[in-house]
Each structure stands twice: as C-alpha cells, then as structure tokens.
Amino acid sequence: MAHYSYIPVGVCSQQIDFDIEDGKLHNISFTKGCPGNLKAISKLLEGADAQWAANTLRGNTCGNKPTSCADQFAQAIDQAMKV
C-alpha cells in the first residue's frame, strides 16, 4: 500500500492524506476544511477505484472559487497515479 500526502491550493483544507492499494483508495483524511463534508467524502470513497474517484470529483467548485477540496483531491489522485 502506497501512502500519499498532498498540499491543496486555494481551499480551506491544508492537507490531504490517502493510500492507494491495487488502484483502490483507503485511509482518506483531510486536515482542516469543512469537517462534515470531508468526512463524508472520505467515507464514501473508501475502497473506491482511484481513477473513477478522480474523474468524478474533478472540476467541482466551492462557492466562487475555481476549485474545491474535492477537486483538489482529484488532482492529488492524478498526481499519485503518475508516480
């Protein structure tokens, strides 16, 4: 299982940590940000296919921001999958 940490840009969350094993997401956690929403994202995506999750989350925005914690997580997954 590979562990990844990502520092998001332009959102309230300060760090995203997650693991990928056999293309599946595990142990997703966000530091800071909107706790209820981010806990829900973490629970919903536990064991999900990483590429599917990235494709689903990519492009989501938060208010008038051009990104969101979900979009930043998609970028984190994309970066991790390139390694």
Computed over every residue of the chain, the mean pLDDT equals 97
CB < 8 Å & 24+ apart, contacts of 33-37: 33/69, 34/69, 37/69
Distances, alpha carbon 61 to alpha carbons 21, 45, 66, 71, in Å: 28, 18, 6, 7
* Structural domains of the chain ordered from first start: 2-82 (3.30.390)
Q: Which helix (H) or strand (E) holds 24?
A: strand 24-31
**Collapsed DSSP state (helix, strand, coil) of residue 68:** coil
* Structure tokens that stand for 2 in this block: 């590979």
* Amino acid at position 37, single letter: N
Instruction: Determine the average pLDDT of the residues in 7-36.
Output: 97
Q: How confident is the model at residue 42 (pLDDT cuts 50, 70, 90)?
A: very high
The whole-number pLDDT of residue 61 equals 97
